[in-house]
Amino acid sequence: MAALEQSSRVAAAPRRERPTPQVPVVELRHVTKRYEGGDVGLDDCSLAISRGEFVFIVGHSGSGKSTLMRLLMKETEPTEGIVRVAGRDLRDIGRRKVPYYRRNIGMVFQDFKLLPNRTVYDNVAYALQVTGSSRREIRTKVPDILRLTGLSTKLHNYPDQLSGGEQQRVAIARAFVNHPPLLLADEPTGNLDPETSIGIMQLLYRINRTGSTVIVATHDVAMVDKMRRRVIELQRGRVVRDQAAARYSGGEPNTAELGAILKEHLEL
């Protein structure tokens, strides 16, 4: 029954070119999120992302990228529909279990969200401390991951002594130190210059190569065009394109899309 539903949904998705594997890491079914005050974050959005994929979520500001990320982190609840991560319905996770759920997800933000009162080393160590790791484990894992992200010389600096790119590397190190199966990055290069951005993307790509599923919300056109990965485009909370090895913009818009764009412009 579920399989049937899935296949029909796949058929309905526009320009879908990739067959859906059996157990998606992330699955949204007809998810709608309305905020108080009537703003729509997501509107009947359905998508599936399977293990080991590297996916870009693109779209204008307010298209629902961040809402999608926040739903996956269980920072907010969907108004309608089901969000599943690793086959688990997020509604089944109680408030007290949320921290344990989040430990399986690495999260990278546009504004880095580092703890300002901790050194680079302690910031990364904190992600291990919350899981109750032993001191010995922390002492071996943290320098390792920081070497991997190219921060070996900055262990004892505080975040405000680092450049933006370095801070983002710390954030990625922190997100990945637990080797989470899923890594979410919300505009990870939004505050960085193009050259630094390439380094960050390479880092994310390397993490993806270790087997983690990586989802990147971005509107960095150059990056998406260069990486040629699966692209899911959101517009006003709806999935308007889901394309493998795609560019940022979906080439020639088809008639329906053109109509939608025109309509949007006329309304504005």
The C-alpha angle 49, 50, 51, rounded to 5 degrees, equals 135
Contact call for residue 114 and another protein (CB under 8 A): yes
Binding to another protein in span 65-84, by CB under 8 A: 73, 75
Are the C-beta atoms of 104 and 182 separated by less than 8 Å? yes
Instruction: Kindly state the helix (H) or strand (E) to which residue 225 belongs, with its residue range.
Output: helix 221-227
Contact call for residue 47 and another protein (CB under 8 A): no
Taking CB under 8 A as the binding criterion, the range among 5-13, 51-59, 101-109, 143-151 that sits at the site for another protein is 101-109
Is 14 exposed, middle or buried, given 0-12, 13-18 or 19+ CB atoms closer than 10 A?
middle
Taking CB under 8 A as the binding criterion, the range among 56-64, 83-91, 112-120, 213-221 that sits at the site for another protein is 112-120
Contact call for residue 115 and another protein (CB under 8 A): yes
Contact call for residue 126 and another protein (CB under 8 A): yes
Contact call for residue 236 and another protein (CB under 8 A): no
Rg (CA), the chain: 19
For another protein, the closer CB: 8 or 117: 117
CB of 119 to another protein, least distance (A): 10
CB of 47 to another protein, least distance (A): 23
**How distant, in Å, are the alpha carbons of 22, 125, 186, 197, 249 from that of 60?**
31, 35, 13, 19, 11
Binding to another protein in span 142-171, by CB under 8 A: none
Give the total residue count for the chain.
268
User: Binders of another protein: how many residues, by CB under 8 A?
Assistant: 22
With CB under 8 A as the contact rule, the residue among 25, 28, 127, 151 that binds another protein is 127
Residue 177's φ and ψ, nearest 5 degrees, are -65, -25
Look up residue 202 and give its two tokens. 């390479």
Contact call for residue 113 and another protein (CB under 8 A): yes
How far is it, in rounded angstroms, from Cα 178 to Cα 144? 12
Taking CB under 8 A as the binding criterion, the range among 18-26, 93-101, 201-209, 242-250 that sits at the site for another protein is 93-101
Contact call for residue 192 and another protein (CB under 8 A): no
Taking CB under 8 A as the binding criterion, the range among 16-24, 125-133, 140-148, 234-242 that sits at the site for another protein is 125-133
CB of 99 to another protein, least distance (A): 4
Ramachandran class of 25: left when φ > 0, alpha when ψ lies in -120 to 50, beta otherwise: alpha
Residues sharing a CB contact under 8 Å with residue 48, sequence separation 6 or more, in sequence order: 6, 20, 24, 26, 27, 28
For another protein, the closer CB: 76 or 163: 76
Contact footprint for another protein (CB under 8 A): 73, 75, 96, 99-103, 107, 113-118, 126-127, 129-131, 135, 174
